[in-house]
Structure 1
Amino acid sequence: MDRRSILKNGGLLAAASLLAPAVRATEPEIKRKPVLTIAHITDVHLRPEEGAPERFEKCLSAVKKHGVDFILNGGDSILDASYDDVKRERVTELWNIWDRCMETVKPYEVYSCLGNHDMWWKAPSKEDEMYGKAYVVKRLNISKRYYSFTKKGWHFVILDSNNENISLDEEQFKWLENDLQQLVPGTPVLLMSHYPILGVTPSLVGGGHSDHVKLKNLFYKHKDKVRICLSGHNHLSDNAVYNDIRYCCNGAVSGYWWGKGDKDSAGPGYYYETPPGYAILRLYEDGQVENEYIPHGY
Structure 2
Amino acid sequence: MKRKEFLTSGLFAAGIAMLPSTVSANNDRVKRSFRFAFISDIHVKPGVVPEAGMAKAIQHVQNLKPKVDFIVNGGDSIMDALAATKESAQIQWDLFHKIMEKENSLPVYPCIGNHDIYGWFQKTPDSTDPLYGKNWAVKELKMTDRYYHFQKGKWDFIVLDSTQLNPAGGYVGKIDEEQLVWLKNKLAEIPKDRFIVIVSHIPILSICAGLFFNKTEANGDLMIKRNLMHSDFLAIKALFNQYPNIKTCLSGHVHLQDEVHYLGIKYYCNGAICGNWWSGAYQEFDPAYAVFEFFDDGTCSREMVNYG
What is the TM-score with the length of structure 1 in the denominator? 0.83
Matched residue, 1:135: 136
1:31 and 2:17 matched? no
**1:125 CA displacement:** 2.0
Cα separation, 1, equivalents of 2:26 and 2:42: 38
1:213 and 2:211 matched? no
Q: How many residues get paired?
A: 258
Contact residue 27 and residue 295 of structure 2 kept, 8 A: no
Query: Does the C-alpha gap of structure 1 residues 282 and 138 become closer, same or farther in structure 2, counting only changes over 3 Å?
Result: same
Cα separation, 2, equivalents of 1:35 and 1:64: 19
Q: Percent identity?
A: 38
Matched residue, 2:76: 76
Matched residue, 1:25: none
- Calculate the aligned-residue CA RMSD, in Å: 1.7
1:152 and 2:149 matched? no
Give the letter aligned to residue 110 of structure 1: V
What are the within-5 Å matches in structure 2 for residues 84-99 of structure 1?
86-99=84-97
1:278 and 2:289 matched? yes
Matched residue, 1:231: 251
Superimposed CA distance per residue, residues 189-213 of structure 1 (whole angstroms, 9 cap, x where no aligned partner): 1111011111211222230000001
278, 301, 307: which is aligned to 1:258? 278
Matched residue, 1:4: none
Contact residue 149 and residue 159 of structure 2 kept, 8 A: yes
Cα separation, 2, equivalents of 1:30 and 1:288: 8
Structure 2, unmatched stretches of 5+, are 1-24, 167-171, 213-223
107, 110, 121: which is aligned to 1:109? 107
Cα separation, 2, equivalents of 1:141 and 1:247: 27
**1:105 CA displacement:** 4.7
Query: Does the C-alpha gap of structure 1 residues 244 and 162 become closer, same or farther in structure 2, counting only changes over 3 Å?
Result: same
What are the within-5 Å matches in structure 2 for residues 120-131 of structure 1?
120-121=118-119, 122=122, 125-131=126-132
Matched residue, 2:301: 290
Cα separation, 2, equivalents of 1:173 and 1:30: 34
What is the TM-score with the length of structure 2 in the denominator? 0.80
Contact residue 50 and residue 258 of structure 1 kept, 8 A: no
Give the letter aligned to residue 274 of structure 2: S
Give the letter aligned to residue 153 of structure 2: K
Matched residue, 2:269: 249
Cα separation, 2, equivalents of 1:211 and 1:51: 37
Query: Does the C-alpha gap of structure 1 residues 79 and 147 become closer, same or farther in structure 2, counting only changes over 3 Å?
Result: same
206, 213, 216: which is aligned to 1:199? 206
**1:65 CA displacement:** 2.3
